[in-house]
Amino acid sequence: MSFLDLAYARYSVRHYEDRSVEQEKVDAIVEAGRIAPSAHNFHPTRIVVCDTPELLAKAAACEPRFEKNGSIFGAPLAFVVCAKTEDAWVRSYDDMNSSLIDTSIVCDQMMMAATDLGLGTCWVCAFDPEVARREFDIPEGVEPVSILVAGYAQPRELDSERREARRIPLAQFTDVNA
């Protein structure tokens, strides 16, 4: 499958089968994140792999309204993606810290790798980072940015026309004044 086909195929999954993700797939997803590019190759991203009932419950505690069957959306796998902000490259012109961009690249590569492996994913930003910090004993200077959940999607009829209608038109996407 081409990358563009993969990108079109990926969607946010909020209903998962009750089955574990094989360790070799977990390892491949983690590796995709590890090798992701970062500004100046500083690699400020750190992740927490949640693949046990205890860790999945901690992830679900970060946003209880998404909790289902002891996890976020019932997913059997979650990654808490964090930024070690002091390790990130900083742009000299305006002191923009690249850590949020770098962690987003990592999360995106992991998400697309999971999709390529036949898994469904959902990139979760609506969670309380202070709860994540507490649940996972994340130290100061390391910021929980995203949670990526993954697993085998429950079979559902996908409405590709509806998904396409929610995308902005190309003319608007390529026009910063639009």
Q: Which fold has domain 3-153?
A: NADH Oxidase (3.40.109)
Distance separating alpha carbons of residues 28 and 20, to the nearest angstrom: 15
What confidence tens digit (pLDDT) does each residue in 81-132 have? Answer: 999 999 999 999 999 999 999 999 999 999 999 999 999 999 999 999 999 9
Amino acid identity at 3: F
- pLDDT, residue 158, reads 67
- pLDDT, residue 178, reads 83
Pairing of strands 120-124, 45-50: unpaired
What confidence tens digit (pLDDT) does each residue in 126-166 have? Answer: 999 999 999 999 999 999 999 999 999 998 766 777 778 88
Instruction: Supply the mean pLDDT for the chain.
Output: 95
- pLDDT, residue 24, reads 98
The pTM of this model reads 0.94
The percentage of residues in the chain with a pLDDT greater than 90, rounded to a whole number, is: 89
Q: What angle do CA 174, 176, 178 make, to 5 degrees?
A: 90
- From residue 131, alpha-carbon distances to 3, 20, 75, 101 in Å are 35, 25, 19, 22
Domains of the chain, by residue range, sit at 3-153
Distance separating alpha carbons of residues 84 and 112, to the nearest angstrom: 23
- pLDDT, residue 164, reads 81
> Is a pLDDT exceeding 70 seen at residue 46?
yes
